[in-house]
Amino acid sequence: MRYLVASGLRSAELPPGCRVIADGEAISFEQPWSFGAQLIAQVDDGADLTALTSKPAITAFLVEGIAPPGAGQAFAIGAHRMRDAEAFTPYAARVADVSKEFGCRYIARGGAVTPLAGSFVPDRAVLMEFPSADDVVAFYFSTAYAPLLRIRLSATEPRFVLVARTEALPERTRRAIADGLSKL
């Protein structure tokens, strides 16, 4: 099972064998995600993705999945390039336990990343499914996650993006993100 993470690609442009999981409003919590609107799709074995490699306006990569998507209404893309693998070890060991408290289910975690198009290719990517966008916000800005976030920010070149399954994010969620980011 694989997942496609793409920016600047509309769901109508997906090749056969790809099913949209999330294509709603997206907000980056860390470095600006300047690659365009987000899309997460589940990719069947044998799906031909070669057409995506020739699209100059997109950024896309594949990540190995560990579970099918569930009924969650929000997804988080955690992707980064490693700066200090040894310093990152405590983060990797503890983050799953912390995120579980907020209803997180990993659908891809640390699998192989395969670049398809664009210049951003992470060393590692995770896809997390949450019951709601508010749960993603509560996790990211929680006191339980704060010491791990410091590790993530110092040991990697990080990207963390919230993607609604469909539609826009609630205004209260956008305000909570802006407020949380102003305090970091």
Q: How confident is the model at residue 62 (pLDDT cuts 50, 70, 90)?
A: very high
**What local confidence, expressed as pLDDT, does residue 54 receive?**
82
What totals of helices (H) and strands (E) does the chain contain, helices first?
4, 10
The residue type found at 122 is: P
| Per-residue pLDDT at 33 exceeds 80 | no
The domain total for the chain is 1
| Per-residue pLDDT at 32 exceeds 80 | no
Q: How far from 94 is each of 4, 41, 109, 180, 183, CA to CA, in Å?
A: 26, 27, 13, 22, 23
Q: What is the pLDDT of residues 94-144, one digit of tens each?
A: 999 999 999 999 999 976 799 999 888 888 999 999 999 999 999 999 999
d(C-alpha 147, C-alpha 143), whole Å: 8
| Per-residue pLDDT at 31 exceeds 80 | no
| Per-residue pLDDT at 55 exceeds 90 | no
| Lowest-confidence segment of 8-22, 23-37, 57-71, 163-177 by average pLDDT | 23-37
Read off the CATH number of the domain in which 75 is found. 3.30.70.100
Mean pLDDT along residues 149-167:
95
Sheet holding 59-64, edge to edge: 18-22, 38-43, 2-7, 59-64, 113-117
For 8, the domain range is 2-183
| Per-residue pLDDT at 68 exceeds 90 | yes
Whether the CB-CB separation of 40 and 22 falls below 8 Å is answered with yes
**What local confidence, expressed as pLDDT, does residue 49 receive?**
94
Q: Identify which of 87, 77, 81, 89 has the alpha carbon closest to the alpha carbon of residue 156.
A: 81
Residue 45 contacts by C-beta under 8 Å, 6 or more apart in sequence? Answer: 2
**What local confidence, expressed as pLDDT, does residue 43 receive?**
97
